Amino acid sequence: MTTLKQGDQAPSFSGVDQDGKAHKLEDYKGKKLVVFFYPKASTPGCTAEACDLRDNFARFEASNYALLGVSADSAIRQSKFKEKYELPFPLLADEDRFVIEAFGVWGPKKFMGKEYDGIHRTTFVIDENGVIEEVIEKVKTKEHANQILK
């Protein structure tokens, strides 16, 4: 789905999290950044993915990673999701899909025989200089941390 690949410069994005705080790529210079896109907060797959990342958060911190979740949900929905599952990382409320489209993860999907446009569950691992190290398109929601931290 996405046209971004390993070795590409990550898009210079800017978005607002569940608390209204702005986040942009430049804020993470000098750290590795995991930007994970998920279809909808509080759905089973998205919850499993976020909780797996939460449960392994200390491993990410120990390896100098920052995490940033992104979906098209409202700030209120993101806030409830973060609070309910005690997620230790920010969740961008990208209702206008600026970040989602910059990373190329919006497009046609199929579910139960119906076609519609939506977010493709995709994760980007970005190095300290803003270069994409890895694109994970086949996300295993219950073991996503291991996919990233190998």
Residues identified as active-site: 46
Nearest to 84 by CA among 53, 42, 22: 42
Which tokens sit at 58?
């200390």
Nearest to 83 by CA among 41, 137, 45: 41
Strands 65-71 and 91-93: parallel
**How many other C-beta atoms can be found within 10 angstroms of the C-beta atom of residue 7?**
8
